[in-house]
Amino acid sequence: MKVYAYAERIALDDLQVVERPEPQPGPRDVVLCMRAAALNYRDLAIASGNYHVGVKPPLIPVSDGAGEVVAVGAQVTRFQRGDLACPVYLPDWIDGPVSPRVARRRLGGPSDGVLAELMCVNEDEAVRAPSHLTPEEAATLPVTAVTAWHALYQNACVRPGETVLVQGAGGVSTAAMQLARAGGARVIALTRGARHVERLRALGIDDVVTTGDTADWPAQVVALTGGVDVAVDVAGGPSLARSIAATRTGGRVHLVGYAADTSATIDIFDAIRHATTIHVATAGSRQSFEALVRVLQMQAIRPVVAKAFPVAAIGAALQHLSAGGHTGKVVLTF
């Protein structure tokens, strides 16, 4: 079978198509014929050597994917041939709180990821995709959608009637908007320009605040809402302090990304005045993934796919992701 792998070093110019033996399932394994994969900013960070976990070649990259079950071990009970399933990003995190043990193995780095024609996983390390989704849509779930779900409903539950501010229009942002709205929250989208407004309105977003190049957007948000209950911060860096400023007293900030910078400085007095609770997201457990699937299925929610590339064009897809400005997820098709 063919796989895409960093062979000698972790760099995009060393990403090669190589042949590996087809996997044979053990008693509790399933073999997935991969149909689609979805890109995350962590894939860019890993490729550029700027990720918080060390990775070494040889490595099959990319964390998010969906595949058809084509073989099952004799003792498998959770899947059958023909199911569309997603490998879990943190395969050892079944339920409960995160710990060093369950956070050690991560698909796409440091463990092998999903850019392979066939992928063999233990049945406990995969989740059946919602039946109404295409493989491209299902591939967007394991990191971004699970991160949004775990942040909003596991770390600190969003309640109906609360106001949720979400930055940006990328994959984790659109997932957070859809899930917050599904929970009965008023959703405020924050974008730099007007290019995404129409698409976000089509998702049912209540208000869209456009910031331009100004840094005083918290004042706009407070003027509109009186201060939000929850802010989802995908940028990090200087944005974290602004997210705190945009919340009401007793509000929560979910830091789920570092698109702007990996370091942040906040005014402690301002955080005290706001009595802000800051949660740092770290994906989610298989239990969170399964809860997410139930909600997507019951409410017929479809993830937003910005653009699909053939897997052979992964370089162009990563460039498209790096350029930003898209709504939803960038995906690869096998």
List Cβ neighbours of 38 (8 Å cut-off, separation of 6 or more).
62, 64, 65, 136, 139, 140, 143, 144, 171, 329, 330, 331, 332
| pLDDT, position 194 | 81
Listed by start position, the domains of the chain span 2-140+303-333, 146-280
CA distance 163 to 229: 5
Question: Would the pLDDT of 261 be above 90?
Answer: no
Contact 310, 332 (CB under 8 A): yes
DSSP code of residue 131: T
Q: Do domains 2-140+303-333 and 146-280 have the same CATH topology?
A: no
Question: Would the pLDDT of 86 be above 90?
Answer: yes
Question: Would the pLDDT of 136 be above 80?
Answer: yes
Question: Would the pLDDT of 196 be above 90?
Answer: no
Q: Which fold, 2-140+303-333?
A: Quinone Oxidoreductase; Chain A, domain 1 (3.90.180)
The architecture (CATH level 2) of 146-280 comes to 3-Layer(aba) Sandwich (3.40)
**pTM for the structure as a whole:** 0.93
Q: Tell me which residue of 208, 168, 170, 171 sits closest to 186, measured CA to CA.
A: 208
Of 71-75, 197-201, 251-255, 307-311, where does mean pLDDT reach its minimum? 197-201
Q: Tell me which residue of 117, 113, 24 sits closest to 74, measured CA to CA.
A: 24
